[in-house]
Amino acid sequence: MVIRNKADKKKSQTGQLRIVAGNWRSRLLEIADVPGLRPTSERIRETLFNWLSPVIHGASCLDLCAGTGALGLEALSRGASRVVFVERSSAATRVLQANIASLSAAGADVLNTGAKEYLSGTRVEAFDIVFIDPPFAADLQHELCRLLAEQQWLADDARVYVELDRDQPDLRLPENWQEIKNKTAGKVRYVLAKNYARGES
């Protein structure tokens, strides 16, 4: 969830999120009126999904701290088979559910709970791609990565995407994870890591 730059404001109307590409390309969706709730910019999403293009089709995804659902909805638009959206805010959850309904999106599940609570519970499946984009002030990125690894939420060779404030400390990756992409846009640093099967690196 990041503040849009001027270029992104020209592309999306106020209070709306635009899907960049895929089956729902250019569709505009509502953004909940929740303080601090900001979608990942179109510029960053374009770069991220270029990185993920070899693995997105048919992928099972987890969108933690989903907020507007920008990352998970973009994933579904581009061919992911399933996305679990985890969002603590009830207001944001209701708008996300309405947006999913407006798209007639299959394979989307929305859970109104905290990311740490979800990951600390019983694992129900292993995900191919996980998006981590909490409010930067919450500083949850390291803890969520740790829980993903310890609770074995990741499939072999899964990708984990993390957004951070550019001034936050470098991301501490769990064992068997390797950073494969790292880029900065404005005040946002975004990282893509890969979870290798044990014995690989």
Helix axes 90-103, 70-77, angle to 10 degrees: 20
d(CA 191, CA 193): 7
Nearest to 119 by CA among 38, 62, 195, 187: 62
The first and second tokens of residue 147, run together, are 């829980």
Q: pTM, whole model, 2 decimals?
A: 0.89
pLDDT at 10: 37
Helix axes 70-77, 42-52, angle to 10 degrees: 50
> Which uninterrupted H or E stretch holds 50?
helix 42-52
Query: What domains are defined for the chain?
Result: 6-195 (3.40.50.150)
Amino acid, res. 113: T
The first and second tokens of residue 66, run together, are 């989903």
pLDDT digits (tens, 9 = 90+) for 8-58: 333 333 488 999 999 999 999 999 988 878 789 999 999 999 999 999 999
pLDDT digits (tens, 9 = 90+) for 176-190: 999 999 999 999 999
> Which uninterrupted H or E stretch holds 27?
none
User: Over the chain, what is the mean pLDDT?
Assistant: 89
DSSP state, residue 161: E
